[in-house]
């Protein structure tokens, strides 16, 4: 579905990605893990067309999207839930979800999709008339994911869905991520500092360190890797 090859991205003189390659197959959950500043967000922003790579190639569904503008990439069904969630704080839950449906060819599907989102996240239904800014961090993350699902994406990228969220809700949200991927056969590229959780729900993992892929392989193998355990899982 998504193939990233030898990606190089810089911010002025700062090299954020130096030759990163990875792939996500149909229906898979693949994770990029790594510490703060490793280049995870840069990778997602570049795939989304928000940053231009200095070199490298990004293919989505067999199409070269490396130089496409962001709005064309979204229109292909590649949806990015950014770090920090970025819901519209002054709009209600209902209005935020409606914003996610604007690219649908068939507007009648918005109601069906909303029912699906409410089935996954019943809390959003309970808070339908509440403004997003009054939701907890975890609920805002549910809303951000729900809004993405409203547009029937073909591919979902999640940037640190666990960040700043109460541990109990993090467990719920990660279980829902697995459910969504299974239900819809939706491939997900999950970026996380929380390597423990990310390795639990993904099939394949890439460990980013200073803009390089330091380790990669089946998540189950990486969970047992002594070096990864020492650095990212606390031994």
- What residues line the site for Mg ion (CB under 5 A)? 40-41, 83
**Residues 6+ positions from 202 with CB-CB distance below 8 Å:** 28, 29, 30, 31, 190, 219
11: contact with ligand ADP by CB under 6 A: yes
34: contact with ligand ADP by CB under 6 A: yes
Nearest to 102 by CA among 88, 123, 120, 89: 88
Among 7, 24, 38, 205, binds ligand ADP (CB under 6 A): 38
Whose Cβ is closer to Mg ion: residue 83's or residue 221's? Answer: 83
SS3 202: coil
Whose Cβ is closer to Mg ion: residue 152's or residue 192's? Answer: 192
Contact region for ligand ADP (CB under 6 A) — 9-17, 19-27, 93-101, 105-113? 9-17
Burial class (CB in 10 A: 0-12, 13-18, 19+), 105: exposed
84: contact with ligand ADP by CB under 6 A: no
Residue 106 binding target from Mg ion, ligand ADP, none, CB below 5 to 8 Å by type: none
Whose Cβ is closer to ligand ADP: residue 6's or residue 126's? Answer: 6
Taking a C-beta distance cutoff of 8 angstroms, is the pair 67, 103 a contact?
no
Q: Residue with structure tokens 């109601």?
A: 111
Distance CA 181, CA 162 (A): 17
Residues that bind ligand ADP (CB under 6 A): 11, 14, 16, 34, 36-42
């Amino acid at each position: 579905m998504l193939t990233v090859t030898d990606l190089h991205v810089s911010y002025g003189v700062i090299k954020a990605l130096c030759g990163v390659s990875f792939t996500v197959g149909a229906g898979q959950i693949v994770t990029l893990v790594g510490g703060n500043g490793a280049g995870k967000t840069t990778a997602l922003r570049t795939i989304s067309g928000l940053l231009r790579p200095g070199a490298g190639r990004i293919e989505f569904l067999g199409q070269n999207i490396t130089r496409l503008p962001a709005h064309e990439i979204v229109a292909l069904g590649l949806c990015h839930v950014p770090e920090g969630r970025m819901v519209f704080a002054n709009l209600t839950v209902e209005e935020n979800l409606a914003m996610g449906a604007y690219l649908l060819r068939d507007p009648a599907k918005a109601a069906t999709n909303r029912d699906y989102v409410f089935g996954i996240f019943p809390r959003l239904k309970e808070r339908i008339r509440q403004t997003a800014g009054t939701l907890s961090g975890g609920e805002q993350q549910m809303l951000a994911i729900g809004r993405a699902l409203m547009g029937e994406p073909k591919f979902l990228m999640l940037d640190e869905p666990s960040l700043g969220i109460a541990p109990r809700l993090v467990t719920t949200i990660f279980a829902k991520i697995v459910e969504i991927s299974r239900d819809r056969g939706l491939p997900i590229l999950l970026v996380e500092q929380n390597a423990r959780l990310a390795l639990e729900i993904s099939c394949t993992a890439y460990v980013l360190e200073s803009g390089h892929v330091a380790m990669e392989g089946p998540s189950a193998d990486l969970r047992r890797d002594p070096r990864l355990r020492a650095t990212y899982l606390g031994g």
